[in-house]
Amino acid sequence: MNAIIDSIPHLNKPRYFPIQLQRLDMLLHRQILRLRQRYQLSLDEFRGLYISDQQVDELIDIPTREESNVTGCAELNQQSKALQQDVQQERARQKGWHLLMQRFALSDFEQDVLFLALALDLDIKYESLFAYLNNDITCKYPTCELALALFSDGSQGRDSLQHNSTLFRLGLLLNIEHNTNRPSWLGRGFYINPVLSQSLTATTSNSSRVNSYLRQDFSNTTWQEVPLSQKIIFQWRNLKTLLQTPSWQSKMLYIKGKAGSGGRRALFTLAAKLDKPILSVALSTILGEKINHDDCIKTIVLQQALYDSIVYIHGIETTQFVNDTFHFIQALVAELDFVALRVPENFTSPQENFDSQVLSIQCTTPDVEQRCKLWRQQLSHLNMAAGLATRLADSFELTPRQIEAAMYSASATAAMEGEVITTEHMFAAARQQTAQQLVQLATVVDTQCSWHDLKLSPAVKETIFEIKAAVQHRHVVYEKWGFGRRSAYGHGLKVLFSGSSGTGKTMTASVIAKELGLSLYKIDLSGIVSKYIGETQKNLDRIFGAAQGSNAIIFFDEADALFGKRSEVKDAHDRYANIESAYLLQKMEDYNGVVILASNLSKNIDQAFMRRLHFIVEFPIPNDVLRLALWRGVFGVDTPLADDVDLEFLAKQFRLAGGDIRNVALNAAFLAAENKQAVNMTHLLKAIARQMVKQGKIPSATEFKHYYPAMMKRM
């Protein structure tokens, strides 16, 4: 076994700093002999509970145990001094150590103390040696007393171990809390900053995670790869020039925009042009793990100083921007020359005096032309329809990152299904990128119906086709043709469907969404309206905020409950109700998506809303011809129908809406299934009679004609 162990090189020879470790072992050996000579290290078997002298002798490779041999100490002292020049040469050759010397200009004593702390990360044996020399089995780390004993004569070096010294102020060394049994300053322990340890032992790579909240990356991206408009890229190029100007005063950059809009890639390109790495700081991790802010700031400042990095803070949108968060950012900025912070589009910091030092770049979501270009790049290797990129760009306001994610999702889904990527895969993947937030606030309306299933009058159908075309081409009209610049309201599309229940309002909205490849979200009014003052506005803000980035169609059923006419103010209730209506009107104006309102009575809608509507569609009760088409379409090919079913009679005699016809057909089918029969005229007439009773009508011979006597017997 020993032969096998001896054959493994890294178990016999130190990987890093062999000469420095050799000198440190000599100095530790000398200190052991000194303390033994003074009887400060007891020889009984319970000392330290316990690290034996024999164990220490083996760790430090002491050939003989000469506790009182002062000559041995002197010889070790001379040998360690003889190694000093070799130690300095080794430090100069080591890349991480040489970089450290350049950045901080440490004295020989400070370098020795730093290496003493580093030794714990180089060899586990030093835990036992430090515990032995500290006369405490729990004190497995270097202390100020041990550092002075090893590297200093007299009081020399004490200033370098104070809290305000270079080693501790810049975070190269971090304090260990005092042991309650050793409260003196000399007994204070310390350890090397893990970031510095990684740097000195060359464990980091060109792209690596430094710790749980830090990651350092090197980039080689170019401006051609940044998915932003030329105007915004021009700002980033100018920023590079400003950062290289000695008189430049701004210490902070706000990168505003949605996550994935291209701001991060622009910052990485800027760093590549400046030949600097990016040090990414995960703010949510720092706050979530409750990491000590002072130590965290020291670590970030140290890593930045070692590599001259650009510090990039992200994750502020996932936290509540409270004072503690702001104070942490402010304290970090105070220690650095420049910091980039990614923030939401409408972000403002809590203190104005902080904003005076801030430069801001708005990285907006790509317009339709840019999105079309990005989609073409993603679809270039596929044999897809030439106009698919344009359709996707028109339908979905996605960021570059979301477009890449949608492409990956569509590819993965098609691969799992064993199929090639289709248009349906692409639209489903695009919808998936925007549905996360809104699905918690509304209900998705899905349908298998198509244009063929809509039994509407020619005039209504023509208007519906116009609405579909307006949704498809609104980006062209607003962006390319300039109507957006001349519009006082948002760039969305607002539609009102008015008509009795069952006339096809919800079905029509779902068919429009399906044909456009968009999702339809039905807003539940019970989750919006609240009796508490201000809660309704908050709920509306959440819905429109989530919908703004969802690219979905928002459907308000029974809209007159929310969009009803404002009344004369007679009491506080009226005043707050009117405030809610005014707030809703404002949110409607600002919203850039598609909103469909459905109401049984359009006259109940406030005129202020009516003026903002682009389309108003009246859904009348269907006539005889449409009712016959509805009756013929309501039964599937799998539904058994008896020979006596007279659909023409039903269409002519009963003035039912499409929803009523569906309910009648369903109830008749249940009756037939219970009797194990095909759906016959008796089942249908009985279901119609019950439907009339639900609506407050009394079945009469006028409607049922010659079927009336037989139908009444079975009621």
pLDDT, one tens digit per residue, over 6-30 is: 433 333 445 567 788 888 888 888 8
Confidence of residue 467 (pLDDT cuts 50, 70, 90): very high
Q: What is the pLDDT of residue 321?
A: 58
Kindly state the tokens that stand for 212.
Answer: 């749980």
CA–CA gap between residue 273 and residue 174 (Å, rounded): 34
Burial of 278 (0-12, 13-18, 19+ CB in 10 A): buried
Name beta bridge partners: 596: 495, 555
Highest mean pLDDT among 27-41, 479-493, 601-615, 693-707: 693-707
The arithmetic mean of pLDDT across residues 430-436, rounded, is 77
Q: What is the pLDDT of residue 666?
A: 93
Q: What is the pLDDT of residue 48?
A: 45
Which has more pLDDT, 264 or 43?
264
Q: CA nearest 560: which of 513, 595, 525, 510? A: 525
Helix (H) or strand (E) holding 146: helix 144-151
Q: Which residues contact 214 (CB under 8 A, 6 or more apart)?
A: 195, 279, 280, 281, 282, 299, 300, 303
The arithmetic mean of pLDDT across residues 402-419, rounded, is 90
Q: What is the pLDDT of residue 462?
A: 92
CATH C-level class of 370-433: mainly alpha
Q: CA nearest 456: which of 658, 665, 597, 601? A: 658
Domain topology for 624-714: Helicase, Ruva Protein; domain 3 (1.10.8)
CA–CA gap between residue 150 and residue 115 (Å, rounded): 12
Query: For residue 549, how many C-alpha atoms fall within 13 Å in the half-sphere facing its CB?
Result: 22
Q: What is the pLDDT of residue 145?
A: 86
The 8-class DSSP code of residue 602 comes to G
Q: Both ends of the chain: CA-CA distance in Å?
A: 96
Q: Buried (b) or exposed (e) across 123-160, using 16+ Cβ within 10 A?
A: bebbbbbbbbbbebeebbbbbbbbbbbbbbeeeebeeb
Q: What is the pLDDT of residue 68?
A: 41
Residue 506's SS3 state is helix
Q: What is the pLDDT of residue 280?
A: 92
Confidence of residue 3 (pLDDT cuts 50, 70, 90): very low
The 8-class DSSP code of residue 707 comes to G
Q: What is the pLDDT of residue 185?
A: 78
Q: Which residues contact 88 (CB under 8 A, 6 or more apart)?
A: none
Query: 560 vs 104, 530, 566, 606, 625, CA distance in Å?
Result: 70, 16, 11, 8, 31
Selecting from 3.30.1950.10, 1.10.260.40, 1.20.1250.20, 3.40.50.300, what CATH number does the domain 451-619 have?
Answer: 3.40.50.300
Which has more pLDDT, 28 or 205?
28
Using the predicted structure, report yes or no on whether residue 355 has a pLDDT greater than 70.
no
Confidence of residue 227 (pLDDT cuts 50, 70, 90): confident
The arithmetic mean of pLDDT across residues 85-102, rounded, is 75
CATH C-level class of 207-362: alpha beta
362-409 residue pLDDT tens: 888 788 888 888 888 888 878 777 788 888 888 888 888 889 999 999
Least confident of 301-315, 595-609, 646-660: 595-609
Q: What is the pLDDT of residue 267?
A: 93
Least confident of 44-53, 591-600, 613-622: 44-53
Using the predicted structure, report yes or no on whether residue 356 has a pLDDT greater than 50.
yes
CA–CA gap between residue 30 and residue 42 (Å, rounded): 17
The arithmetic mean of pLDDT across residues 241-264, rounded, is 83
Which has more pLDDT, 489 or 210?
210
Q: What is the pLDDT of residue 62?
A: 56
CA–CA gap between residue 619 and residue 501 (Å, rounded): 9
* DSSP string covering 637-668: TTS-B-TT--HHHHHHH----HHHHHHHHHHH
CA–CA gap between residue 481 and residue 146 (Å, rounded): 77
**In degrees to the nearest 10, what's the CA dihedral of 685, 687, 692, 694?**
170
CATH 1.10.8.60 domain range(s) in the chain: 370-433, 624-714
Q: What is the pLDDT of residue 640?
A: 92
Query: 209 vs 172, 263, 282, 303, 466, CA distance in Å?
Result: 19, 21, 11, 12, 53
Kindly state the tokens that stand for 251.
Answer: 């210490």
CA–CA gap between residue 295 and residue 313 (Å, rounded): 17
Confidence of residue 697 (pLDDT cuts 50, 70, 90): confident
Q: CA nearest 595: which of 582, 603, 604, 585? A: 585
160-177 residue pLDDT tens: 888 888 888 888 898 887
Q: Mean pLDDT score of the chain, rounded to an integer?
A: 79
Burial of 461 (0-12, 13-18, 19+ CB in 10 A): middle
Burial of 49 (0-12, 13-18, 19+ CB in 10 A): exposed
Q: What is the pLDDT of residue 398?
A: 86
Q: What is the pLDDT of residue 307?
A: 83
Q: What is the pLDDT of residue 269?
A: 93
Q: CA nearest 505: which of 438, 454, 564? A: 454
Q: What is the pLDDT of residue 7?
A: 38
Least confident of 8-17, 409-418, 432-441: 8-17
CATH 3.40.50.300 domain range(s) in the chain: 207-362, 451-619
Helix (H) or strand (E) holding 176: strand 173-176
Q: What is the pLDDT of residue 564?
A: 60
* DSSP string covering 293-359: HHHHHHHHHHHHHHHTPEEEEE-GGGS---HHHHHHHHHHHHHSS-EEEEE-TT---S-HHHHTTEE
549-604 residue pLDDT tens: 667 888 988 777 676 655 544 444 455 556 666 777 778 778 888 889 888 876 76
Least confident of 70-79, 113-122, 215-224: 70-79
450-461 residue pLDDT tens: 888 888 888 999
Using the predicted structure, report yes or no on whether residue 673 has a pLDDT greater than 90.
yes
Percent of the chain with pLDDT over 70: 80
The arithmetic mean of pLDDT across residues 696-707, rounded, is 81
Which has more pLDDT, 606 or 587?
587
